[in-house]
Amino acid sequence: MKAVLFMLWQSFLNVSKESHFFLYLRSALCYNTVTKKRRTGRGKECAAVMSGPIEIHRRTEQREIQEEQCTILQPLIQELRERQQQEAGQVQTLYQQFMGRLTALPENVPVAEGAPIREEQAVRKERKRREKEAKREYREQGKRGRLLFLEEGRGLKILQNGDSLKKWGDARTKHIEVYMILPEQAERVKPLLSREAVDLVSRGQAFSLCAVEDSEVCGAVCARFSQGREDAVEWISFYVAPSHRRRGIGGTLLLELLDELMDFMGGELCRMEVVFSETAEGIAELLQAASFSLETEKTACAWRISVAALADAPLLQRNPSFPQGLFSLESLDHYQKKQIYHNLKRYDADYLSMEELAHAHPKLSYVLMGTGNSLDACSILDTQEEGVYCLRQFFCTRNHTTAALPVLQASARALLAFCPGEAVLEIPTVTESAVQLVQHLLPKKTICQHMVHAVLDLHERKGLLHGLFDCREQKQREE
């Protein structure tokens, strides 16, 4: 019986050896048979005989798979090699063409368009290098040179313990020397600059220069960068002693200031603006000569009234009101002042910076706070110069227009209480509504000075300024 079964099994193997499916079935059956025989300890010869054909068919199958893979991949490999050879041939051809053209060119061929470009680039690089060296030397000399002011008043005497930073070669101002005012020297320049300029220079937020003739300070100028524009500056302070006017000192300071700002900004300065009173002596003529365009502002005015005249003003003739939430700036801490600043910023009325608000006059400035520490109105005053107080910030919300009168009355009463009668209050206005309010609350004889707005477009005047700077450098070299 066993012999018959064995013969049947051999015939089954011969029939199914061409089929992969039966090959796997046969392998599984053989594996089970061998495992069963081994467990029972019988059929060792049968297991050895059946395992031989299985191993042979596995090797045959692997070889067939490898042959199929080679058959499929061989054309792809051949195609890649042909492409590489073609690309290498193209590169070699282009290189040979380039070398052939380069060899065909004669030596020292003048290039008509390239030479001026290279020359201009070289001149520009040399100019930048000289500007950097001059700037570094200027700063080093500025650190060594210190202006020691010995007395107060206009036209101060100074003790020079360093070389002059700049010298002007004009015959009228032959002995004029221009110094840069450093932040630590700002407090000593108060007679020459406005209060705003002194504060900005001391914080390093403005440029300031002073002119010196025969050890005597005779003029000063100050400018800062415009808010919201990095390529524009505002001219905020300018003074020349009366005994030194009509001699070109103002023009000297202006050109030196422009030169310094141009150097600091790498030649990217585009605009300079000046706002001054129409009654300022000599400013309009100087700016017109420097190619500024002047325009009188209709609503931009400066109203001046003496403190003694405030007592008869319609502002104080009205019934006084003391609403809840009215505080002087002196009674507020730093956190509350910061809240006021953020409220003004929220209404887009932050005409003062946080530092300027914190340093405003504490006894003359008043605020009216609403519910939830909201700001209803404010009147911020500060000292513009000795004996002159300026209304730097006035604000009132649209929903609380009646809150404007209490803060203005409180500031006016504080001026009468703490300031001498000959002191002057200056109120600048820039809108038509502000002009109407001032006319309504101040006496009819209040002096009104219209402001002039002057603009220098450095793009249009670039050639003129470069010509002035080149002439000055030529005169300095000749000396």
CATH code, domain with 409: 3.40.630.30
What mean pLDDT, rounded, does the chain reach? 71
My answer on whether 196 and 335 are in the same domain is no
pLDDT of residue 380: 92
Q: 219-228, 282-291, 327-336, 424-433: lowest mean pLDDT where?
A: 282-291
pLDDT, one tens digit per residue, over 102-145 is 555 444 444 334 444 455 677 777 767 766 665 565 455 443 33
- Phi/psi of residue 308, nearest 5 degrees: -65, -35
Percent of the chain with pLDDT over 90: 5
My answer on whether 466 and 419 are in the same domain is no
Q: How far is CA 179 from the centre of its chain?
A: 27
In a domain, 154, yes or no: yes
pLDDT of residue 174: 52
Q: Under a CB-based contact definition with an 8 Å cutoff, are residues 353 and 395 in contact?
A: no
pLDDT, one tens digit per residue, over 251-268 is 888 888 888 888 777 777
My answer on whether 6 and 34 are in the same domain is yes
Mean pLDDT, range 187-199, rounded to an integer: 80
371 pLDDT more than 50: yes
pLDDT of residue 366: 93
- Count CA within 13 A, CB hemisphere, residue 426: 17
My answer on whether 173 and 233 are in the same domain is yes
> Which of 17, 48, 78 is the endpoint of a domain?
78
Is the whole model's pTM more than 0.75, yes or no?
A: no
pLDDT of residue 44: 43
Instruction: Place 198 in a pLDDT band, splitting at 50, 70 and 90.
Output: confident
In a domain, 114, yes or no: no
Crossing angle of helices 20-40/44-104, nearest 10°? 140
> Which of 35, 61, 78 is the endpoint of a domain?
78
My answer on whether 252 and 203 are in the same domain is yes
SS3 395: strand
Burial tier of 145 (Cβ tally within 10 Å: 0-12, 13-18, 19+) = middle
CA distances from 53 to 8, 35, 57 (A): 16, 17, 6
Q: Under a CB-based contact definition with an 8 Å cutoff, are residues 466 and 341 in contact?
A: no
Task: Tell me which of 230 and 154 has the higher pLDDT.
Answer: 230
Handedness of CA 341, 342, 348, 353 (dihedral sign): positive
pLDDT of residue 167: 39
Q: What would the two tokens of residue 123 be?
A: 């001149």
Cβ-based neighbours of 173, under 8 Å, separated by 6 or more: 213, 247, 248, 249, 252
For residue 16, how many other CB atoms are within 10 A of its CB?
14
Write out 88-138 in H/E/C secondary structure.
HHHHHHHHHHHHHHHHHCCCCCCCCCHHHHHHHHHHHHHHHHHHHHHHHHH
> Which of 36, 58, 78 is the endpoint of a domain?
78
pLDDT of residue 197: 84
* Cα–Cα dist 423/427, whole Å: 13
In a domain, 115, yes or no: no
SS3 232: strand
Instruction: Place 352 in a pLDDT band, splitting at 50, 70 and 90.
Output: confident
pLDDT of residue 365: 93
Mean pLDDT, range 445-458, rounded to an integer: 81
Mean pLDDT, range 356-383, rounded to an integer: 88
Nearest to 160 by CA among 212, 203, 209, 198: 212
pLDDT of residue 479: 52
pLDDT of residue 53: 52
Q: What's the total number of domains in the chain?
A: 3
Mean pLDDT, range 239-249, rounded to an integer: 80
CATH number for position 178 = 3.40.630
My answer on whether 462 and 438 are in the same domain is no
**Greatest mean pLDDT among 66-70, 225-229, 343-347, 376-380:** 376-380
Nearest to 213 by CA among 169, 244, 248, 256: 244
pLDDT of residue 56: 60
In a domain, 94, yes or no: no
- Between the two ends of the chain, the Cα-to-Cα distance in Å is 134
pLDDT, one tens digit per residue, over 279-337 is 777 778 888 877 788 877 777 788 888 988 888 888 888 877 778 889 999 999 888 88
Instruction: Place 476 in a pLDDT band, splitting at 50, 70 and 90.
Output: low
Task: Tell me which of 464 and 391 has the higher pLDDT.
Answer: 391
Domain that holds residue 24: 2-78
My answer on whether 400 and 434 are in the same domain is yes
With b meaning 16 or more CB within 10 Å and e meaning fewer, what string describes 232-252?
bbbbbbbbbbeebeebbbbbb
